[in-house]
Amino acid sequence: MKKLVSIFIVISIICQSSGPARSEDSGSPEYLIEENRLDDAEKILDSWIASDGKDVYAMSLKADVCRRKGQYRKALKILEKAEKTDDLDPTPNFYLGKLYFAMQDFDNSAAQFRLFMEKMTPLLTDEDMRQYYVDNLHDIALMYFGLKRYDDLYPVLVEILKLFPKDTTALYNLGLYYYYSEHSRSKAYSYLKSVIDIDPKGGLVPKARYAMEFIRANPDPRFAPDDSFIDQEYNN
């Protein structure tokens, strides 16, 4: 993940894991990618694509390997081919969004993430697919928050909570959204409090309590906001 503005560095710690689902098989390309063994992953993906030239998932992971290597043009070419191979498959759009983000083409990145969400909608009858979708939405939210693209961020957080109403990460982030974007202390406080109510012993509770204390003491975030409060915990 690229370095983002300070507001969301810590949220990356509490965000759901991103990128390809981590396989339990230490020899899988997904596992190798997450271990940064990119050449090994690429060899496997090349063999998959050689066996089936229409394997959109393999092409998308191959493009992600290229992105991580800084081979942006090559990655773009692969993903464009993958999208044309099956224009109903949302996978290429997710990786196109990440690629454009890495290229700092943020408008195209947002457009691809919207396409990803649209194409995922009819596929959400399966529980595993819903979890995959939400994990990737957390990844997208992290990028939007870092860029302060609040208009794009809000529907992503709402989508997560539509599927998993008790997702405390999304509730915590929505509280921060209301504080920073809408300047609504009451709504921010309400969402942060829900984190505590839902999971009183959860790992986010100390951060949520500290954020609530900070918001209570700071009437307007537009004036000298102190982003460092996000990384603090309430220990009393």
In a domain, 49, yes or no: yes
- Round to whole Å and give the CA distance between 194 and 191: 5
- Residue 105 has what DSSP assignment? -
Asked whether the beta carbons of 210 and 229 are under 8 A apart, the reply is yes
In a domain, 111, yes or no: yes
Encode pLDDT of 101-149 as tens digits: 999 999 999 999 999 999 999 999 999 999 999 999 999 999 998 899 9
Asked whether the beta carbons of 75 and 111 are under 8 A apart, the reply is no
CATH code of the domain containing 116: 1.25.40.10
Asked whether the beta carbons of 144 and 114 are under 8 A apart, the reply is no
Q: How many domains does the chain have?
A: 1
In a domain, 127, yes or no: yes
| Confidence band, pLDDT 50/70/90 cuts, at residue 180 | confident
How high is the mean pLDDT of the chain? 86
Asked whether the beta carbons of 42 and 30 are under 8 A apart, the reply is no
| pLDDT confidence of residue 10 | 37
User: Given the structure tokens 């012993």, which residue do they identify?
Assistant: 201
| Confidence band, pLDDT 50/70/90 cuts, at residue 222 | low
Encode pLDDT of 56-75 as tens digits: 999 999 999 999 999 999 99
In a domain, 171, yes or no: no
The domain of 83 spans 20-152
| pLDDT confidence of residue 33 | 95
